[in-house]
A and B are shown apart, each in its own frame.
Chain A
Amino acid sequence: MIAIPLSSQLINLFAAVLLLLAFAMLAQRRVVSLIDLFAAQGLVLALSTAVVAWSTNQPHLYESAGLTLLLKVIVLPWLLYRLVKKLDVRWEFEGLINIPTTMLIGIVLVVFSFNLALPISQLASTVTRSTLGIAMASVMLSFLMMITRRKAIPQVIGFLAMENGLFFAATSATYGMPMVVELGIALDVLVGMLILGVFFFQIREQFDSLDLKHLETLKEEPGE
């Protein structure tokens, strides 16, 4: 049996936890718990990035890890909590598709991503290449979450989680993106979040609800 170095084992563990968290988010109905899960995902991401930095001796990845920790574990969850408290939306009841079905679709997506990632990870030369499939799977799962949720805040969390998945994919495939790109994306996410927060208030003021079905009136009239 070939001994796998500790760093690789750690990275694989974090990847597995990341995937597990993505599934948990897919199944979670309560908004506050969703934010907790999102923060946990950010923490795992930061830890795994730090491990990659330590094992491959890439100092700039420490900075990425620090940035992730700051932004995705502290700032964004805090903003979301505040938003939920102000808007007073603690519960989300039903998704568009029931949860077991969603989970089944999620499993299909994971299989699909692993299949896709196989040829790519053979091309990559990084120690983390085996986790590429998981990164792609978590992108897909977050996307699925955006599709199946009916309320605005879970959709935004899905969007942010998708960005987590992308970041993980970048780390695992090429040891992270250049610092400039990473900073840019971090800023985009932050500003996007702030703007969406403003939008939520506006939507809520207009319709007394954050249910997106109020925004569905713009469509082609049948049989004109």
Chain B
Amino acid sequence: MPTSPLALIGIAATAWLAIGAAGLIRPRSLRAVRTLFPLGAVVAVAIAVIACVALALPPESTVLSLGLPDLPFHLRVDPLSAFFLVLLGSASAAISLFSAGYFRSGSGTAPGLICFQYHAFVAAMALVLIADDAYVFMVAWETMALASYFLVTTDHRIPQIRRAGFLYLLIAHVGAIAILLCFGVLQGGHGDYTFAAMRAIALPGWWGSAAFFLALMGFGAKAGLLPLHIWLPEAHPAAPSPVSALMSGVMLKTAIYGLLRVTFDLLGAQLWWWGAIALALGLLSALFGVIFAAAQTDMKRLLAYSSIENIGILVAALGLAILFKTNAKPLLAAIALAALLYHALNHAMFKSLLFLATGSVLHATKERSLGKLGGLIHRMPWVAWLALAGTLASAGLPPLNGFVSEWLLLQAFLFTPTLPQSFINMLVPLAAAALVLAVALAGYVMVKFYGVIFLGRPREPSLAYAHDAGRFERAGLVALAAACVLLGIFPATVLGAIDHVTAQLVGSAASGGDTSWLLLAPLGAERSSYSPLIVLGAIVGAVLITIQLVHRMWHGRVRRAPAWDCGFPLQTPRMQDTAEGFGQPIRQVFEPFFRIERHLPSPFDAKPRYSMNASDHWWQWLYLPIARAAEAVARLFGLIQRGRISVYLTYSFVTLLALLLFVL
């Protein structure tokens, strides 16, 4: 019985594959799927536990004689990969539980086949995290991309979904090419593609920058960084909700992992201006994502844009960490990096939770458009209350987890004036302001998301038949909500675990200062501190006291009566604030960001419907010109097709002559 964490993780990943293969035995059987997904969840928990143990252990590597001849698999577990394995294991455990109840037989892919694709997907992600050479990494990376492509196109009979899947596959391949080139640069002409060899090489001059920016492009394409973000808002609404949760919660993080691995591990030395560019790009993505999220009317598109925002925050934190590290401030770099890792973990939890909640809503109502939902808190109390936890975490409110990581990141931002370069000292306050704006707008977006779906009155009569989530779905949601709360209340413990990673990457622990299990004060208690338990106590106390006071001062009975109607006796659910209405101020303020197409109803329409579509400029500015250029080039090549055999013969004759001249 092997006891090393690496061997155990390898066995667990293989178990995932085996579970997936078992799904193929009877692909149409729902009962098989209902037992296989919980098994997958058990494996996921095992991976999370093993990785937790491996976090504190020294790196461990091994060589498996799999793969092509003379090209064995190099595997390695170090604190960085262990941290992301914890993320993968914990998030996918809950998502697997939810999936057990979610997938039904329909016109799309058979449930057993989905089970196979799903487990191949998670196993490939595990392999990405433990890969220790470029070859295994790329094999796992592409397996991950392909498996997720098939999962996105589960309902492949719908043309829009096939289109969304194609877009995703296209961007994934553009990214994969960039990553491949990045590894090509990193091996420095020695032809040795193991990560150990890449670590040993100091790249000369501009090659390091080339590697970093290729990595930023390649992993940015996977993560949804501007301007390669366009697949996210298309693919997420197309995919089944657990798949969206897995992609947004976990797969985007593997891209962040790759970026960290290349930047801090494989590239020995960083340059400060990489950090400045990553910071700018990250903040731009964050602002862009959140502004678009505010304008969306489809709940899953809204979450997809919100994912772009969160990835933007992560990349901004990465940029900040590079800035600090290159300016010899390891403690601050460690705090920025800890904020990044913490936020990655938090985002995995709350975004998965929200995506799964939309899945339950979708099952209950068959409706994705915010304009047709509303008042679901009465019909689906479980989903509504659990989604509230995710909403608050996503909005970054204490005492939930989103607050901790954003607070940490702001701490890191607020201490940048100590940097020696005056240019950055001028830049960073602006960046901090942009970050705060993005975070505040995220709160706005979440109010819209929650308020329009769960509060108010149902906008459609059919919503009266909505049913709450089943047992498995509830279990998954409860697990994620609990994780959101626990990660928010015990940040010092989590930071203690993250310290192993920051020590590996930037050589300093983040939870220095006066941090104890109760108090979070990375820079010393006199500068700033946060004690989640006290905040929680204060909130709970205030709420209880208010309830008591209201009951005492009033008569203490609950009375149900129609709400005050402001003198308008005729009130219909259609008079409520809509998703479009809620996003309208943002659309006005940030009008240059959008391309807006409005459909205004005619005044004589008996049942007027207003619709609005806010699309982004990048299509017009970047993608359509590229597509047109590709078509023009193709047409140029069409010119050589003349249809005459003598012309074709001349082509080969000239080629022959040219080759003879060239060779001899």
Contact = CB atoms under 8 A, between A and B. Distances in A.
Report the interface size class on chain B. Answer: 10 to 19
Contact of A112 (B635, B646, B650, B657): B657
A50 B657 CA distance: 31
Given A120-B664, A220-B638, A147 B643 contact: no
Interface stretch (A13-21, A192-200, A210-218): A210-218
Contact of A148 (B635, B639, B646): B646
A216 B649 contact: no
B534 to A, nearest CB: 71
A22 to B, nearest CB: 15
Interface string B628-664: 0000000100110111111001100100110011001
Interface residues of A, number: 23
Contacts of A116: 660-661, 664
A147 B641 contact: no
Q: Looking at chain B's contact residues, is the secondary structure mostly helix, strand, loop, or mixed?
A: helix
Given A116-B664, A120-B664, A143 B649 contact: yes
Chain A interface SS verdict (over half): helix
A166 to B, nearest CB: 12
A193 B657 CA distance: 26
A143 B653 CA distance: 7
A30 to B, nearest CB: 20
Interface in A195-210: none
Contacts of B643: 215-219
Given A112-B657, A220-B639, A119 B664 contact: yes
Contacts of B645: 155, 212, 215-216
A223 to B, nearest CB: 9
Nearest to B652: A143
Contacts of B657: 112
Contact of B641 (A112, A119, A219): A219
A96 interface: yes
Nearest to B653: A143
Contacts of A112: 657
A150 B664 CA distance: 32
Nearest to B644: A216
A212 B452 CA distance: 70
A146 B660 CA distance: 19
A19 B501 CA distance: 78
A215 B638 CA distance: 18
Given A112-B657, A116-B660, A147 B639 contact: no
A147 B646 contact: yes
21 contacts: A96-B646, A116-B660, A116-B661, A120-B664, A143-B653, A143-B656, A144-B653, A146-B646, A147-B649, A150-B646, A155-B645, A212-B645, A212-B646, A213-B644, A215-B643, A215-B645, A216-B644, A219-B641, A220-B635, A220-B638, A224-B635
Instruction: For the complex of A and B, list the 4 residue pairs with the smallest distance between their C-beta atoms, beginning with the closest.
Output: A219-B643, A220-B638, A216-B643, A147-B649
Interface of B: 635, 638-639, 641-646, 649-650, 653, 656-657, 660-661, 664
Interface of A: 96, 112, 116, 119-120, 143-144, 146-150, 155, 212-213, 215-220, 222, 224
Given A112-B657, A218-B643, A219-B643, 10 more contacts: A120-B664, A143-B649, A146-B646, A147-B653, A155-B645, A212-B646, A215-B645, A219-B642, A220-B635, A222-B639
